[in-house]
Structure 1
């Protein structure tokens, strides 16, 4: 079981959480704030407690709630333990792709997005589509942007290379913050991007499993 299922703490470092809270405070707006992948809700708690109760913007969480047993129950308990009513959070128990299609069809937009879900390159590329629903001036953050997680890094680097209306804003640890400076003229993720992620999926999986076996031998 994941350690966070026992501790209910964020899987981010203290340095990363400080950056996240600073960005939220500086970008304080009342539009919807989205978290993709919540684990035990530790990061969600930190984000929500950045705001006073009467000034907190709407929070949306997209997660299939299958990361570990009783995940949704533990997230709710974590919120209650921090004096946050779970009913005040819009939980969408679905895959990122399913939730994205529904949000896009309804014309939904967001002021702030945190992506901290699957690190597989196909999943990260799919998560990047949410940037199209980010308001100009809004911020999208990616956790685990590092060489250790090439699926995250490769997708984000490709994305930034193609879209000049997104600029690196700040980075702490493995948390990368990007600002959307203007509305785009093309889709954030195209068919060629999806093909790219599919082409790289198996080579990266093979390398991940090889590295895991190597660690096992050393241990």
Structure 2
């Protein structure tokens, strides 16, 4: 039986799932850099942060925005995103929505030889998901930037994946961080795969321990309540 998606707060508020400081940091990056190439968001929730990013540009100079999301985060997610865009005077038809799993969308984008000047990763937070999503950096233009949300110890799947990625790829440099949103810049082309077999094996080995720890933490919290 298919699991019914949980109703998230953003489904009714239509707000982004970032803090005010994170949105201001993101807005500042986009306005300062003024990238002209396509902008990619992986994981959009209700489109709150998408609206913030798109509103950083005037209609006439706004680059192409691409959104990758399965649209199963909560019931009627796509409808909520479209309503949210409309409320911000943004036309949903101008957004390239790719309703698919990130891995599928990445494979198709690679086959099309897509490139992006800016990427925001805010999809699944489990280590297997994050490690797979980091492959999108292969399609990031040299000089372009990637932001990753929830880069804090509370989300070890994100933190461990990003730390391992940075340790193995010196051509990515940290630009800054606001709360849990970290920004990296691709300063040169890489010489090795963005996510290797060893990286995938590491993520697979860490998946169960992290999942077990999360369940234990939840159990302890309930007992303490």
TM-score by length of 1: 0.99
Pick from 30, 33, 36: which aligns with 1:30?
A: 36
The reply on whether 1:18 has 2:29 as its aligned counterpart is: no
Q: CA deviation at 1:218?
A: 2.3
Pick from 157, 160, 172: which aligns with 1:166?
A: 172
Pick from 100, 103, 106: which aligns with 2:109?
A: 103
- Mapped to 1, the partners of 2:87 and 2:35 lie a distance apart of 26
- Which residue of structure 2 aligns with residue 121 of structure 1? 127
- Which residue of structure 1 aligns with residue 3 of structure 2? none
Q: CA deviation at 1:30?
A: 1.4
**CA displacement, residues 34-63 of structure 1 (integer Å, 9 cap, x when unaligned):** 000000000000000011111110000000
Count of matched residue pairs? 219
- Which residue of structure 2 aligns with residue 217 of structure 1? 223
Q: CA deviation at 1:26?
A: 1.2
- Which residue of structure 1 aligns with residue 4 of structure 2? none
- Which residue of structure 2 aligns with residue 85 of structure 1? 91
Q: CA deviation at 1:2?
A: 1.0
- Mapped to 1, the partners of 2:35 and 2:148 lie a distance apart of 20
The reply on whether 1:154 has 2:160 as its aligned counterpart is: yes
- Residue correspondence of structure 1 range 56-67 to structure 2 within 5 A: 56-67=62-73
**CA displacement, residues 144-188 of structure 1 (integer Å, 9 cap, x when unaligned):** 000000000000000000001000110000000000000111110
The CA RMSD over aligned residues, in Å, is 0.6
**CA displacement, residues 181-209 of structure 1 (integer Å, 9 cap, x when unaligned):** 00111110011100000000000000001
5+ residue gaps in structure 2?
1-6
- Mapped to 1, the partners of 2:224 and 2:14 lie a distance apart of 30
SS of aligned partner of 2:60: helix
- Mapped to 1, the partners of 2:58 and 2:143 lie a distance apart of 22
TM-score by length of 2: 0.96
The reply on whether 1:70 has 2:72 as its aligned counterpart is: no
Structure 1 runs of 4+ with >4 Å offset = none
